[in-house]
Amino acid sequence: MQIVSYPHPTLRHKSKAVRHVDSELQIIVQQMFTLMYEANGIGLAANQVDLPLRLFIVNSEGNPEEGEELVFINPVLTQQEGQAESDEGCLSIPGVSAAVTRPSQVHVEAYNLQGQPFRATLSEMMARVVQHENDHLDGVLFTDRVATEDKLELEPTLDELAIEFQSRRDRGDIPDDEQILARLAEFEERYC
Ligand code: ZN
């Protein structure tokens, strides 16, 4: 398992609801935490590790020794209120950060890794992280939400990432779209 980078097609895949959790999925989630910590991240969505499932993980401290490891399965966001602007980055879009305006408060309902429902009203950084990760599940990247006048500045780095992606694909490091879709379909068959 590895974190995929822009413009990997799975980052644009709309994830499907998880219907059951098995021991293999629990191992997958543990591997996601390991990758997230290695990359110094605080949130990671399943798309980012090339999986088509509606789940993401968060540890607001980004450290296994601190903070709380939260798993959000089939999250539903409601009651988005207020507005706040802050810089965001993404483990799948290395080298890019930009201001994004989002609701400052959000209510979330989801299931944890034990299949138990939970709900929370989040604000500040947690509200932002959860909205950023939930966007991933719909194939939306934070760069899509950057104001038009700021987007131009990001283009050179995004173009570089696209060139790097293509050369890795040419070397055979990244499968073609058809192979990627076939693999996603296998996971959907199993878990959705
Ligand atoms: Zn992200």
Instruction: Tell me the catalytic residues.
Output: 133
Q: Does residue 3 belong to any structural domain of this protein?
A: no
Q: In terms of residue numbers, what domain contains 27?
A: 9-191
Q: Which of 93, 89, 88 is nearest to 7 (CA)?
A: 93
Q: Does residue 4 belong to any structural domain of this protein?
A: no
pLDDT tens-place values along the chain, 192 residues long: 999 999 999 999 999 999 989 999 999 999 999 999 999 999 999 999 999 999 999 999 999 999 999 999 999 999 999 999 999 999 999 999 999 999 999 999 999 999 999 999 999 999 999 999 999 999 999 999 999 999 999 999 999 999 999 999 999 999 999 999 999 999 999 999
If one counts the domains in the chain, the total is 1
Q: Does residue 181 belong to any structural domain of this protein?
A: yes
Q: Does residue 138 belong to any structural domain of this protein?
A: yes
Report residue 184: phi and psi, to 5°: -60, -40
Whether the Cβ atoms of residue 10 and residue 183 lie closer than 8 Å to each other: no
Q: Does residue 39 belong to any structural domain of this protein?
A: yes
24 Cα to the center of ligand 1, angstroms: 24
In the numeric block, the tokens 């822009």 are attached to: 6
Q: Does residue 167 belong to any structural domain of this protein?
A: yes
Please state whether the predicted TM-score (pTM) of the whole model is above 0.75.
yes
Report residue 75: phi and psi, to 5°: -65, 145
Strand partners, 118: 110
Q: Does residue 176 belong to any structural domain of this protein?
A: yes
179 Cα to the center of ligand 1, angstroms: 23
- Domain containing 182 — which CATH number? 3.90.45.10
62 Cα to the center of ligand 1, angstroms: 14
Q: Does residue 2 belong to any structural domain of this protein?
A: no
Neighbours of 126 (CB within 10 A): 19
Whether the Cβ atoms of residue 129 and residue 123 lie closer than 8 Å to each other: no
- Predicted local distance difference test score (pLDDT) of residue 181: 97
| Sign of CA pseudo-dihedral 108, 110, 114, 116 | positive
In the numeric block, the tokens 């207020």 are attached to: 82
191 Cα to the center of ligand 1, angstroms: 23
131 Cα to the center of ligand 1, angstroms: 10
User: What gap in Å lies between CA 19 and CA 93, rounded to an integer?
Assistant: 29
